[in-house]
Amino acid sequence: MTELLEQINALISAPARDLDTIERTLTDGYAQALSLEAEKWRLEKRINEVAQTLQRGDTAKKAREIATLADRIESSVRALTTLRSRLADLRRHADVVRVGTVR
């Protein structure tokens, strides 16, 4: 994702206004956001599965797994928040570029 964020930053700050590249990067970014959301959903589902079995078996091991999963969710949420923010910036930039090409 670092590479994608760097590409977004470069497109926003570049003097060249390549709308095709901007749109392709937006598409890639939205796909990455969907992937992060899906991963978050899978992690939440796993937490629910493990939580339902806490009464059976190794409770300490299950608690550690839940904590690990929660950390991964938090990381995904941070990444998703950052990505969405930068995509919004790039979308606004694309709008400016689009208006500039109409003139």
Q: Are 9 and 40 in contact (CB under 8 A)?
A: no
Q: Are 51 and 66 in contact (CB under 8 A)?
A: yes
At residue 102, the pLDDT reads: 54
Is residue 79 within 8 A of residue 1, CB to CB? The reply is yes
pLDDT string in tens for the chain (103-residue length): 899 999 999 999 988 789 999 999 999 999 999 999 999 999 999 999 999 998 888 899 999 999 999 999 999 999 999 999 999 999 999 999 988 765 4
pLDDT given for residue 37 in this prediction = 98
Per-residue confidence (pLDDT) for residue 79, from 0 to 100: 97
Which pLDDT score is estimated for 6? 96
